[in-house]
Amino acid sequence: MTEAARPIDGLRERILEDPELILEDRDLMRALIAANERALGNNIVDLRGIAMERLEQRLNRLEETHRSVIAAAYENISGTNQIHRAVLTLLDPVTFPEFLENLRGPLLEVLRVTRMRLVLETRDPQGTVPGGFEDVLMLVPAGELDSFMGPLSGHGAQGRTVVLRQPAKANEALYGEAAEWIRSEALIRLDFGPGRLDGLLALGSEDPHQFRPNQGTDLLAFFGGAFERAMRRWLA
Instruction: For the chain, list the domains and their CATH numbers.
Output: 2-63 (no CATH), 84-235 (3.30.450.40)
At 189 the pLDDT is 93
Report whether pLDDT(4) > 70: no
Q: What does pTM read for this prediction?
A: 0.67
Report helix, strand or coil for 233: helix
How many CB atoms neighbour CB 144 within 10 A? 14
Helix (H, G, I), strand (E, B) or coil at 186: strand
Segment 189-204 mean pLDDT? 92
Mean pLDDT computed over 36-42: 62
Question: According to DSSP H, which parts of 41-166 are helical?
Answer: 47-90, 96-104, 106-111, 145-149
Does residue 187 register a pLDDT over 90?
A: yes
Question: What does the alpha-carbon distance between residue 120 and residue 130 come to, in Å, rounded to a whole number?
Answer: 13
pLDDT exceeds 50 at position 222: yes
Mean pLDDT of 138-150: 86
- SS3 of residue 204 by DSSP: strand
pLDDT in tens, 50-68: 677 777 788 878 877 777 7
pLDDT of amino acid 201:
96
Residues 6+ apart with CB under 8 A from 139: 119, 120, 121, 122, 127, 128, 129
Residue 53 CB neighbours (<10 A): 13
Mean pLDDT, residues 133-144 taken together: 90
pLDDT band at 45 (very low <50, low <70, confident <90, very high): low
> Chain-wide mean pLDDT for the chain?
82
pLDDT in tens, 149-185: 875 445 544 445 899 999 988 999 899 888 999 999 9
Confidence of residue 1 (pLDDT cuts 50, 70, 90): very low
Q: What's the pLDDT score for residue 118?
A: 95
Q: Do residues 99 and 107 lie in contact, with contact meaning Cβ atoms separated by under 8 Å?
A: no
pLDDT digits (tens, 9 = 90+) for 70-122: 766 667 787 888 999 999 999 999 999 999 999 998 999 999 999 999 999 99
